[in-house]
Structure 1
Amino acid sequence: MDPKRELTSVDLAALVGELGTYEGAKVDKAYLYGDDLVRLKMRDFDRGRLELVLEVGETKRAHTVSPERVPDAPGRPPQFAMMLRNRLSGADFVGASQYEFDRILEFVFEREDGLTRIIVELFGQGNVAVTDGEYEVIDCLETVRLKSRTVVPGSRYEFPDTRTNPLTVSREAFEREMDDSDTDVVRTLATQLNFGGLYGEEVCTRAGVEKTMDIDDADEEVYERLYEAIERLALDVRNRNFDPRLYIEGGDEGDADGEANEGTDSNAGRVVDVTPFPLEEHAELAAEPYDTFLSALDDYFFRLELADEEEPDPTDQRPDFEAEVAKYERIIEQQEGAIEGFEEEADATRQKAELLYAEYGLVDDILSTVQEARRQDRPWDEIEQRFEEGRERDIEAAEAVVDVDGSEGVVTIELDGKRIDLVARDGLEQNADRLYTEAKRIAEKKEGALAAIEDTREDLEDAKRRRDRWEADDGDDDEDETADEDDDRDWLSEPSVPIRENEPWFDRFRWFHTSDGYLVIGGRNADQNEELVKKYLEPGDKVLHTQAHGGPVTVLKATDPSEASSSEIELPETSIEEAAQFAVSYSSVWKDGRYAGDVYAVDSGQVTKTPESGEYLEKGGFAIRGDRTYYDDTPVGVAVGIQCEPYTRVIGGPPSAVTDQAATVIELEPGRYAQADAAKRLYRQFRERFADESFVRKIASPDRIQHFMPPGGSRIAEE
């Protein structure tokens, strides 16, 4: 296994307790090594010299180190180090804390002239931000400018949005998170409950639950065992019931009972992990016990650094492209989860605003009652008492009030099972506008996350290109032989289907390849329709659109954007007909439950964004010059399939095009099942068809299937 280079959330939860024993230590000096390692030299009156290192580069850690192991002081201190010295010299260490269950540590230092906070981000790209007592950023190693959050000097530090804390989660919240999942148990614990991979597996092992068990198969007893295992782990962390272990791969087994000495330098293997307590997941590894987690961390990273220095010249070895690709894919998965969370939060906030208007009379009565009482100088306690008396008399307005917070001037009500905070001094319209504004702000966070995910996808594609160039020397013969073998394979019966992923440039649009091999792309919204016409429409392409309102701009590409465009290419009629079926199927025709619609096709040169005099084109709209070719009563038809070669992915489009390109397909027709529900039905059928169910979970989640489904209701054609 690869050595751990980043501390986990569980590690940090254990770490802060031990750091608390150093409260009161004074800071002497601060150092910055390179652009990612901060060292704070301190004096503890009971223990003497104390060294704290904070590293946020490829290795992400925060712990004390033995003075003899600190690196030599760098030359002229950079501006960041000088700023730290100016603010921290002589300051007392007040304490350390973990933000929620995230990989963020906050170190607080106090001096007569005020507080200084050092916030260490041990996730993603990593960062160290220095703020004052009010969280205004003084300086930071990396500036962050996203719509979701900003970390720049002069601004208020913004923590990332909080996620579920598994160490404090209630039983009810635990069950909700599990029920909302569509994958297996261990992945749910790792992502929905934020345990990460290792501790997700550890919880399963301690609970005696099969890790790959599908969440749909987990019953109440399974939930009970898992939650009890989580509670026991949380209790160990809260009570600081630690028994640290440093794990070694290739060393002698049997040290887990404490026979090894702390800090033993073993040449029998290499260090691969360090944990605050023994893990059943590491039962097969040799282990060394330690008295404290801080000393275990110090020794682990010291020995890891020595091992790195002894490694052979990496230029003589194949770079670990798989690890790099896996890292970017993991980041993308996290970013996609954040985007989904923003969508859900924005929808929930808008629904609250709409509920206020739906219950206009009731809400207005509550606000008027509070405002009139305040005008009469009645105290908040008396107002709360009046609502309690009203509930006893079954007054509807009083029954809707669940809390009154006089310190904030907020009344909390419950409508249709949703709790809504009302600013008592404002009217209903102002409270609703505030919620709509908040929903818009959350939606803007999603846009920032989308921009960030595009950057990560570019990094991923760059890693894949470098991997492909490295492997180009393997020759084409093997590739041809593999292709021949793949053509004959029964993918549905394969016990393990190899994953070969590819994220083409057109993946964010609607798309499919015709049975003749031509690419067809369509817009998902007005912005994408605009982009297709402006950026990707070239000579030789065909543009198709439904007569019905609300259809996507559909472009049948004659060439790839990377190739020279040509109007000399004659597109096959079969491809045009499939593109027409695609255009009508992903339009309002399907959404309205109709089975056919009219489509027209024009050459790319007939499409313009310049309207006639006196006319106006909305975003995503375009004007047509010249004659159109009509395809009347084009039938709707969509098939969703799983492709296994040359890439493993979900594909969708007209059945005539998709069927021959996929290992298995399911055809759809307009129906009564909502898009998300229909996607789950397809997901279950695909899992039943493949012997390798884990393959379907990895590449064909319901969300990914939904990506290729038409808008509106659907049903499986054969049902």
Structure 2
Amino acid sequence: MPNQKRSLNVLDLLAISIELTELRDSIIDKVYTMSNSLLLRFRKESEKYFVIANSHRFGLTSYVLEHGAEGVTPLRRLIEGMRLRSIELLNFDRIVKLVFSDGYLVIELLEPWNAIYMSNDNVIRWVLRAYRSRDRVINIGLEYKPPPQSFVKPTDDRESVVKALQGYDTIGKAIARGLGLGGEIANEVCTRALIDCALPVNSINLDSVISVIRSMVNTVGRGELEPTIYYSNGAPITVTPIKYLSIKYDNIKQFRRFNEAVDEYFHEIEVREESEKKLASITGEIMRLEKSVDELMMSIEGFRKGSEELRIKAETVLNWKYVIEELLNVLRNYWSSYKDEFQELIKGMEYQGIRVKGFDPRSKVVLLDINGITVSIPLNTDVGDVINNLFNRAKELERKAKSAEEVMSQLRARIEELRAEGEKVIESIREGSIHVIYGAREWFERFRWFITSGGKLVIAGRDAAQNEVIVRHYLRPWDIFVHADIPGAAVVVIRLSNPSDNASNSDIYEAAQYAAAYSRAWVMGLSVLDVFYVRGEQVTKKAPSGEYLGKGSFMIYGTRGWIRNVELRLGIGLRIDNLSDASLIRLITAPLSMVSSLTNYYAVLRPGSRDKVNISKEIYNWFKSKVPGFTKVINLSNVVDVVPGPSIIEGFYEGSPMPWDKLESLVK
């Protein structure tokens, strides 16, 4: 199999940066380290975008470990809340520069890969790895200097490019090193120029080579991409922004965007690397046990072979017992009469089908050949004792073989246990990240939400901050504001299409059930609760004179409507929507009257005594058994977040959700 591509080249990074122009004017709101990667989260309108940087790549990723990822506090303090102005390549090298409103973040995909933040005066304010080399020092407080260039940019003037190419013996090396493009691009340029990379530079029309290089650069620069992953023997070997002619492959997979292709290609490499790191001790023990198994197999084979040989000898001696006894009597007489000549006298002697092969005078053991079977028999021993001894030795070797087989069976069982542990480790790594599908989420999905039986969108805050956002930005004067009659509850809003639209009694009751479920009453173990509702125009964030309203607090003026003794029950479900190239899985909560119309699979809960984490695990495992790929999208902590508190599961059910396009038409 060809060597697998391990990092992006400059043409790849150019394609990445061209596609990421869509992030211009987005705001960076989170910074994480995720394993060996730096993860930047950008927000643009209601959409979140995750950009990953590590030794392999830079670009958009949809595989995100938000829960458990570590924040990079110093960098976060410097850049969170800043607006992204542009993304560009630095010196046409494998260095990406993110330009923010008050500084720059540079990602160097060199050895060692690094991330450096500078203020607008080019002074380093944060660095992932401080280091000193012969050419430069990277550390906080120093002026940032990019690595010295040992190549000429292919976009430079013709004379400079030609001179750079002429500094090498072969055209392949000249393109790869003289222009800093690397081996993969050099091979593709040679293929497109119809030349051999091993040809001497002075035998090549360099203008045709330069023309091919600039054509490839311009094609990528215009965004005319054909993102492709190439496979050999079922394994991915490389990914390119345009279709390459030089790559030998069995199969290809093409993508709409290069960022998507790079993400799929390198995610598998990163999972494998993380797995290998975590599996090192398990792999070492498996190798040690497999070596022991191999040694035992050889021992068992030796024991069995030895046992069989001894058994054959014992049976042979048993069958020839009387002839052997007669022969031994003859030999004993010879020994008593002719000790000095005994060895010569008996050598080659034959007696009724038995041939004497030799004699050891020190141990007085005679070597006999009986029908091709060689046996050693002491001259002065009883033949019956010899037979018993041979059978006993055969049994002992058989016992050792069985004992070794038992040990080997235990070792193999342990190896299987370790392999199963390894699979769980790999699965946990895959499950640890959630798969983000960009552009498929609606604005209201940042909140808790459901659709009422009357087709109204209901949104609810997940915490005090979201309660604040909903009241300030999403509650309109004609909407219906719903709240449980208890401190510490979610803001719930029924969104109406226009001032003349109305919510039915069923709509209000369902919203009241939702408000009661996501209130402190659930944690307190209450079974019913009163809920009130008002028009949006009756809710304000303005405090009375001399008073202060904290985050998530508000004032209600005028008459309230009431729903008394609202029962606390909740449905938690999974919804699966099939897109053109993926399945979108959503975790949705809703009142019991609507959960089956919104989800494919759901659980029904009421307040109880079981810990919410244990309840969540049971729900998570049931969803996992029903939906392939569920764990790639939703992790356990997501389920924990939607369970209101200690609960009892009333049951698990299957639903029949309305089509997503119908749901979208209701909320517009």
TM-score, structure 2 as length reference: 0.40
Higher RCO (CA-CA < 8 Å; seq separation 6+): 2
The structure that has the greater radius of gyration is 2
